[in-house]
């Protein structure tokens, strides 16, 4: 594998912020050399290794381009796919990874920092299918790695063949109540709302031990109803006795190798008082761009989110999303999706890859 992959792994293990720029440029040079489709786009824009000096000068790849091009610096070790159909305009996006070590290291170190910074292991209760059942799902793979790395005895997955094992999950929560062992619930937001509704219908209430926590991800996809974030925090406190400062929402995507999380557990662990916001590990950085021009917007203004992820060294360093957000003092917040009429810059960026 290319030496720059080892350099990124070393950075993930020991981040030195002053090295981010040089490492990002080295990753760009690697991708410019090894991905013909990306090199063509860069040359069309007049961007080459001779002109890039800073991470924010690296041309981004729109997430939609992953539906049209395999962006990979070498033969893929694994290919993860977005949700959706397999044909037509809704074809699934593909993220081929030539070096799975990068995703493994980034995923586990991110979870360690934002979900379990205060414990060596914890009883993990997953409502997300295993990687064995969903080998194409990067989320399933991340949670399976978490079970292996952080899962204390009693850890278990309660989703099989797209069916939630409500009774098994409830029994595991009752065991935690009885033996005092904290749990970490890992779930999609949709599955969580289904569990909350199921519990309400059966008058189930749980009082989990202090230190129990919850990570949810994916928005309301697959949920029977929409529930606001404050409403979800309140419902989980009522159902599980998990306080809001032990609940984190994960923001990630198949096209990235690193994830963002609510900052509340990490900052509480480090004794910092902050407002809830999305934050990421030191090897991923975020810009907010005008969706029409793809130029940076003033701090605090809303624009399209663009992430530069060193752990994507084998595929696409800079990824232009379809999410709208704004930078805050403590990270960033997601506020919606880019509307078609506003997305001229995003559309032109995509046209560079598919035209």
> What pLDDT score does 226 carry?
83
145: helix, strand or coil: helix
* Least trusted range by pLDDT, from 14-23, 141-150, 223-232: 223-232
Rounded to an integer, the average pLDDT of 102-107 is: 98
Pairing label, strands 318-328, 61-62 = parallel
Pairing label, strands 156-157, 123-126 = parallel
Angle at which helices 20-34 and 3-13 cross, to 10°: 150
pLDDT in tens, 23-81: 999 999 999 999 999 999 999 999 999 999 999 999 999 998 999 888 999 999 999 99
> What pLDDT score does 274 carry?
80
User: Residue 341's pLDDT band (boundaries 50, 70, 90)?
Assistant: very low
> What pLDDT score does 91 carry?
77
How many angstroms separate the CA atoms of 115 and 290, rounded? Answer: 32
Contacts of 22 (CB under 8 A, 6+ apart): none
Contacts of 269 (CB under 8 A, 6+ apart): 117, 118
pLDDT in tens, 170-206: 999 999 999 999 999 999 999 999 999 999 999 999 9
**How many other C-beta atoms lie within 10 A of the C-beta of residue 23?**
20
277: helix, strand or coil: coil
CB 322 within 8 A of CB 337: yes
User: Residue 346's pLDDT band (boundaries 50, 70, 90)?
Assistant: low
**How many other C-beta atoms lie within 10 A of the C-beta of residue 11?**
20
How many angstroms separate the CA atoms of 59 and 97, rounded? Answer: 20
Rounded to an integer, the average pLDDT of 112-137 is: 97
pLDDT in tens, 236-289: 999 999 999 999 999 999 999 999 999 999 999 999 988 999 999 999 999 999
> What pLDDT score does 85 carry?
47
Domains and CATH numbers, the chain: 3-74+283-354 (2.30.38.10), 102-278 (3.40.50.980)
Which is higher by pLDDT, 293 or 108?
A: 108
How many angstroms separate the CA atoms of 95 and 80, rounded? Answer: 5
């Amino acid at each position: 594998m290319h030496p720059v992959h080892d350099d990124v792994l070393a950075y993930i293990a020991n981040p030195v912020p002053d090295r981010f720029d040089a490492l990002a440029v080295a990753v760009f040079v690697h991708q410019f050399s090894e991905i013909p489709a990306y090199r063509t786009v860069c040359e069309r824009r007049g961007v080459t290794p001779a002109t890039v000096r800073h991470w924010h000068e690296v041309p981004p790849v729109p997430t939609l381009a992953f539906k049209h091009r395999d962006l990979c610096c070498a033969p893929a070790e694994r290919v993860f796919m977005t949700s959706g159909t397999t044909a037509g305009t809704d074809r699934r996006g593909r993220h081929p990874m030539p070096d799975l070590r990068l995703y493994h290291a980034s995923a586990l170190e991110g979870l360690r920092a934002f979900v379990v910074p205060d414990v060596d292991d914890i009883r993990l209760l997953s409502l997300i299918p295993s990687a064995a059942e969903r080998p194409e799902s990067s989320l399933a793979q991340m949670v399976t790695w978490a079970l292996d790395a952080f899962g204390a005895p009693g850890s278990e997955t309660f989703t099989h063949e797209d069916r939630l094992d409500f009774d098994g999950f409830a029994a595991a929560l009752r065991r935690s109540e009885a033996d005092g062992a904290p749990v970490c619930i890992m779930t999609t937001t949709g599955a969580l709302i289904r569990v909350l509704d199921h519990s309400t219908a059966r008058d189930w209430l749980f009082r989990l031990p202090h230190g129990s926590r919850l990570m949810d991800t994916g928005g309301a996809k697959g949920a029977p109803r929409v529930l606001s974030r404050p409403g979800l925090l309140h419902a989980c406190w009522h159902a599980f006795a998990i306080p809001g400062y032990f609940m984190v929402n994960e923001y990630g995507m198949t096209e990235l190798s690193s994830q963002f999380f609510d900052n509340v557990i990490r900052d509480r662990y480090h004794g910092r008082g902050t407002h809830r916001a999305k934050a990421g590990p030191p090897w991923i950085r975020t810009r907010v761009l005008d969706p029409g021009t793809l130029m940076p917007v003033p701090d605090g203004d809303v624009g399209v989110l663009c992430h530069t992820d060193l752990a994507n060294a084998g595929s696409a360093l800079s990824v232009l999303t379809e999410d709208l957000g704004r930078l805050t003092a403590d990270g960033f917040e997601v506020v919606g999706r880019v509307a078609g009429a506003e997305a001229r810059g995003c559309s032109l960026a995509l046209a560079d890859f598919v035209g």
